Amino acid sequence: MQGASIYILRCADGSYYTGLTRRTVDERVSEHAQKLIKGCYTESRLPVALVFSEYYERTDEAVAAERRIKGWSRAKKEAMMRGDFASLSALAKRKGKSKLGESDPPSFEMGSASPPRDEGS
């Protein structure tokens, strides 16, 4: 197995855990179930059930997908797991905000705002 898989587990408390593995998903889920991953979110939320997994040929793509999904709302994760791409698209749109390039041009008036900083600065 050269690439990596992302997976989503449903925990006993109903929450979701999103993870990544370069081994088989079954091996990783078994590790969660046996509490072999000390300090992991799932350790105190057993049992867990695999509800979604997806394999990526490139590990960097799997890492990017995991990070993206971890930032999603519960509703968006559930739409993806159902394969409900219409809902997924609707949930991706921010209410009351327009996306750049759609209707409002970006405003470069900054007033007295401070310049942008990198995280950790």
Whether 103 maps to a domain, the answer reads no
Q: Provide the percentage of residues in the chain whose pLDDT is more than 70.
A: 76
The parent domain of residue 60 ranges over: 4-89
CA distance 37 to 15: 18
Q: For position 73, what pLDDT does the model report?
A: 92
Average pLDDT rounded to a whole number, residues 57-69: 96
Whether 39 maps to a domain, the answer reads yes
Residue, of 121 and 118, whose pLDDT is higher: 118
For 75-85, the pLDDT digits (tens) are: 999 999 999 98
Q: For position 110, what pLDDT does the model report?
A: 40
On the question of pLDDT at 91 being above 90, the answer is no
CA distance 9 to 113: 42
Residue, of 42 and 115, whose pLDDT is higher: 42
- Answer whether 0.85 is exceeded by the pTM: no
- The CATH code of the domain that includes 35 is 3.40.1440.10
- What total number of domains does the chain contain? 1
Residue, of 121 and 58, whose pLDDT is higher: 58
